[in-house]
Amino acid sequence: MRLGVLDVGSNTVHLLVVDAHPGARPLPAHSHKAELRLAELLDGDGAIGPEGVDTLTATIQDALEAAEDKGVEDVLAFATSAVREAANADSVLAQVADKTGVRLDVLTGDEEARLTFLAARRWFGWSRGRLLLLDIGGGSLEIAYGLDEEPDKAVSLPLGAGRLTSAMLPGDPPDPVDLRALRRHVRAQIARIVGEFTRFGPPDHVVATSKTFKQLARIAGAARSAEGLYVERRLSRNALEEWVPRLAAMTAEERAELPGVSEGRARQLLAGALVAEAAMDLFGVEDLEICPWALREGVILRRLDHLPED
């Protein structure tokens, strides 16, 4: 069957169309995305304003039309931290449902982490043993650890690259004082939960998902996306530590000229790099592997697991 996954994230509204069958690998058929950066559009009260809601509903409607054009039988629609944490979330969800007919399933941070972990486990398989997963979104950082498809521990922290950039890095390039304050904040947040994971023992394999990690790996020398999903891509802490001060000295326009960095993500790449560096350092990770699958694939896999057999 042809499924559509509509992901209303903190950075983008992304429709992924796949041909999916129980027991088979989901095959991507079409991708439709629009950058909204909802995490940066919250007003002083933490609400998504009328213009933001109008833009969101129009973008969702465009995605639904694209899904119809591609012959999608069912759309799995969900929202993550930007909508989840908006002060007017209920109102936003009601307006989206009224104007588009779509009822967004708002995932908790724990659900985000667990579904992303499921995708990583299916991608790498059982032979990789105990996985430690890191995922940096626009609004939150997800961390999960485990041996099975259901992680032993999963945590979501409000350390998304878009959220932190909007709240703590107003300058372009950022002021060193702001940069230091953000570094302290990120490390204090992550350090509070490290012990909840380390009590399970060291992981056998560390993996990372999300556009932030993919872009960081790319500027550090990993293969281009055009070389395919099955090319191994890695990111070392040493390489990341060398890039953080370089990114801090650049403007957003200069970062956008780096290989693999999009104009829409360039401004928040530094905050994402600080989160990645802190997580790798505090968890004692010297090197990690980029996983092509993430939350959207986890949602698809979970849906397929619950389809009746033919």
The predicted model gives 93-110 an average pLDDT of 96
d(CA 132, CA 134): 7
Look at residue 253 in the predicted model and tell me its pLDDT: 97
Give the pLDDT confidence score for residue 264 in this predicted structure: 87
**How many angstroms separate the CA atoms of 5 and 15, rounded?**
6
Please give the mean pLDDT across all residues of the chain: 94
pLDDT band at 310 (very low <50, low <70, confident <90, very high): low
* Range of weakest confidence among 20-34, 52-66, 272-286: 20-34
What pLDDT score was predicted for residue 308?
63
Per-residue pLDDT, averaged over 191-207, amounts to: 97
| Confidence check: pLDDT of 309 > 70 | no
H/E element, 164: helix 161-168
Among 190-194, 227-231, 248-252, the range scoring the smallest mean pLDDT is 227-231
The pLDDT value given to residue 1: 86
Average pLDDT over residues 202-209: 98
Mean pLDDT of 41-54: 86
Question: How far is 49 from 34, CA to CA, in rounded Å?
Answer: 18
Among residues 191, 77, 70, the alpha carbon closest in space to that of 141 is found at 191
Radius of gyration of the chain (CA): 19
Query: Residue 259 in contact with residue 218, Cβ under 8 Å?
Result: yes
Domains of the chain: 2-106 (3.30.420.40), 127-295 (3.30.420.150)
How many Cβ atoms sit within 10 Å of the Cβ of residue 198? 15
pLDDT digits (tens, 9 = 90+) for 280-298: 999 999 999 999 999 999 9
CA dihedral for 147, 207, 284, 177, sign (positive or negative)? negative
Does pTM top 0.85 for this prediction? Answer: yes
Per-residue model confidence (pLDDT) at position 24: 82
CA 251 to chain centre: 23
How large is the average pLDDT for residues 127-155?
97
